[in-house]
Amino acid sequence: YLLDRGTENLVVRSVDGGHSLGGEPLKRLVQDLSRWRRLMNQLRRRVDPLVVEALVRGTDLDEDGLRDEAKVEAAIKGLREYLLEHHQDVRQLDCTIERDEEHDSHRIRVETTVGGSPRMTFIDYAFIRGPEYRELRSIQEGLSGLGQPPFVAIVLDKDGKESGEPTELESGDELFDFIDARGRRGITIQRYKGLGEMNPDELWETTMNPDTRTLLQVRIEDAIETEEVFTVLMGDQVEPRRAFIEDNALNVRNLDI
């Protein structure tokens, strides 16, 4: 709903003359930007998100590239250039190439200082192979069709003509915030832990009114497979659980310990 409101009668293009996006393509772009932000927030505790952004947007480093020292050096060069152009608040940037004997590869140790706070980030085989990095790479490929920032957001009237002054946005984050704020304009969002916290009028308006409510049916398509997974994860046998964790470790996206 918010996405529909935020993108209604809106087109976005790159200042350098890239493709204009509106309607469903623009919605998909905003969804990708939302996924990008969510992934960066997940990674923030382990790595410097600015380094990851520079790695994804300023280099083409993959697991094969980590095995080639020349490609690793080229990635460091691209990382430095991206940070210098887009994030001048990075006051210190030291990159060291280290050998990774276990994977017959290399890893990059990146030390950064932003706002007086030092961070250390390791770009290694496990990180490059991880689901977050792979998804960020996939998102970036989709975003490249719009061109490079800054972007211009243009509101159209009912005849499809430009209405008012265009809004210039310096980054994908600014574009997402602009569309999100546009979608939230004029509405109030409230959160409740349970329906019992609502007043009767609110409960009727949001949940119980048969003219506007939505009912969803939840079905278990494969009860046998569900039972097998439950038994592996919650049963008394340690080895099947260990094997399941090892086989699926790199596919984990959200882990609550």
Alpha helices by DSSP H, 11-68: 23-43, 49-58, 63-66
Percent of the chain exceeding pLDDT 90 equals: 52
Mean pLDDT of 26-49: 92
Kindly indicate the confidence band of residue 103, based on its pLDDT and cuts at 50, 70 and 90.
Answer: very high
DSSP per position, 145-178: GG-SSPEEEEEB-TTS-B-S--EEESSHHHHHHH
**pLDDT above 70: residue 255:** no
Mean pLDDT of 28-46: 92
Q: How far apart are CA 151 and CA 16, in angstroms?
A: 8
Mean pLDDT of 15-36: 88
Q: Which pLDDT score is estimated for 254?
A: 66
- Tens digits of per-residue pLDDT, 118-172? 999 999 999 999 999 999 999 998 888 788 788 999 999 887 888 888 899 988 8
**pLDDT above 80: residue 221:** no
